[in-house]
Amino acid sequence: MYTFLHKQVEPVLNKYINNREHILVALSSGQDSLCLLKLLKDLVDQDRHRIKAAYIDHQWKNNSKKHAHHVANIGKFIGLPVAIYQIKRVALSENEARRIRYQILIKHALEENCSTIIIGHNRDDLIETLINNLLRGTGINGITSFTECKKAKNKLSVLRPLIYFSKIEIKWLCRLFHLPSWSDETNYNLNLKRNRARYEFIPYTQNFFNPKIKESLANFSKLCREDNEYVKENTLKLYIKSKHSKLLCINLQIIKKQHPALQKRAIRLYFYYHFNTVIKSSIVNWILTSENKYTHKEYCNSCLSLQIFNNWLYAYLI
C-alpha cells in the first residue's frame, strides 16, 4: 500500500541517497524507527542499496535485554542484519547518552562502508530539541542544528526523512501495517528535560498561549534555517577573502569591516577548519578588540598560541 507518507518520503530518499550506497538505520523498537524501516523496505531498491541496522542499549531499563531481543527478532523476521551494542557504563545524562550513541553509529557505519545513517526523528523531536536549546540560551546555530540532512564525518551523512511528520501521522502508519512497536518506559521519565517539554511544557502552551504551537515552532525553525544558510555563505566568502594565500593566518583588517556577526563567525571558522576547535566567545572578543600591533595570548584549552601582528592573526599548536 502506497500511503501519503510513502509519497512524501520517497523524494527525500532519492535526493540524498545515491545509487549503490550502503545505508545504516538507527533502529529501536519504537514507532518512529519501525515506521522508518517500513518506508525504507518499501521505497529503497534492495538490488541497488544494502540496508543494515544498529540498535544501542543504554541499559536504562530493567527489561533492556528483552527489548534488545525484540529488536533482533524484528530484524530476523524482515531479513535485516541488526548489530546490537550494549553500553557497559550507563550514561548519567541525555547529552552524554546522545554523544555515545552517535559515536557508536558513526564507527559502525564506517566499518560497514555505509555512506548514510538514517534516523527516525520526527517533527515532535525537532520541536522538543528547539525548545530545550532556546531555554539554555542558544544562538541561531543551535536553533537550526536539527536538520533533515547533515554531514557527520568522512563523507558520512545523517539523514532524518521523517522530520516533517508528526507523531500522530507516524502512529497512524504503524497501526495501518500492524507494526510491532514496543513502548520505551524512559520516554515517560519526567526527570529527562525532553520528556518534560513533551508532556508538560508543550501541552501548557497549547492550552493557554497557542493551540498550534508545534506548527509555529516548526515554521520558526525553517525560517531560521534559511537565514542561517545565507549567513554561512557570506561567512565562507569573508573567510576566503581574508585568509593568506600561503600562511596559516587571516587578515583582521578585512574581517573587521564586516558586520560583527560575520566577524565572529569568520574567526570561529578559521579555528574550526584548521584546528578542529570550537573557540570560546571570550577568545573571539579578545581577538576583535586587540590592538593591531604585536599581541600574544596562549589558549590553554586547545593548546594554541595566538599572535596578532600587523592586522594578521596567527595560531600555532603548542
SS3 73: helix
Average pLDDT over residues 179-201: 82
CATH number for the domain whose boundaries are 233-317 = 1.20.59.20
How would residue 142 be classed by pLDDT, with cut points 50, 70 and 90? confident
Vertex 265 angle, CA 263 and 269, to 5°: 120
Q: What is the DSSP string of 268-297?
A: HHHHHHHH-----HHHHHHHHHS-SS-EEE
Vertex 78 angle, CA 76 and 81, to 5°: 50
pLDDT for 244: 93
Taking 90 as the threshold, does the pLDDT of residue 257 lie above it? yes
Determine the Cα–Cα distance for residues 237 and 234; give it in Å rounded to an integer.
5
How would residue 315 be classed by pLDDT, with cut points 50, 70 and 90? confident
Query: Cα separations (Å) of 172 from 21, 43, 123, 142, 180?
Result: 30, 18, 15, 31, 13
Calculate what percentage of the chain has a pLDDT beyond 90.
37
Contact 24/114 with Cβ under 8 angstroms?
yes
DSSP secondary structure letter of residue 243? B
Does the pTM surpass 0.75? The reply is yes
Grid coordinates representing 126 are 525537532
Lowest mean pLDDT across 46-55, 176-185, 192-201, 302-311: 46-55
Taking 80 as the threshold, does the pLDDT of residue 301 lie above it? no
Average pLDDT over residues 18-36: 85
Q: Which residue has the cell 497549547?
A: 206
How would residue 46 be classed by pLDDT, with cut points 50, 70 and 90? low
Average pLDDT over residues 225-238: 94
pLDDT for 255: 94
Vertex 128 angle, CA 122 and 130, to 5°: 105
pLDDT for 47: 60
Lowest mean pLDDT across 19-28, 96-105, 200-209, 298-307: 298-307
Contact 149/16 with Cβ under 8 angstroms?
yes
Taking 60 as the threshold, does the pLDDT of residue 300 lie above it? no
Contacts of 202 (CB under 8 A, 6+ apart): 127, 128, 131, 213, 214
Average pLDDT over residues 229-252: 93
Lowest mean pLDDT across 23-32, 34-43, 91-100: 91-100
Taking 80 as the threshold, does the pLDDT of residue 197 lie above it? yes
Torsion-angle region of 161 (φ positive above 0: left; ψ -120 to 50: alpha; else: beta): alpha
Average pLDDT over residues 92-98: 74
- Which carries the bigger pLDDT value, residue 132 or residue 93? 132
Contact 151/60 with Cβ under 8 angstroms?
no
Q: Name the average pLDDT for the chain.
A: 86
pLDDT for 73: 85
User: Which sequence spans correspond to the domains of the chain?
Assistant: 4-209, 233-317
Torsion-angle region of 87 (φ positive above 0: left; ψ -120 to 50: alpha; else: beta): beta
Q: What is the pLDDT of residues 264-296, one digit of tens each?
A: 999 999 999 888 888 888 889 988 888 666 666
What CATH fold (topology level) applies to the domain 4-209? Rossmann fold (3.40.50)
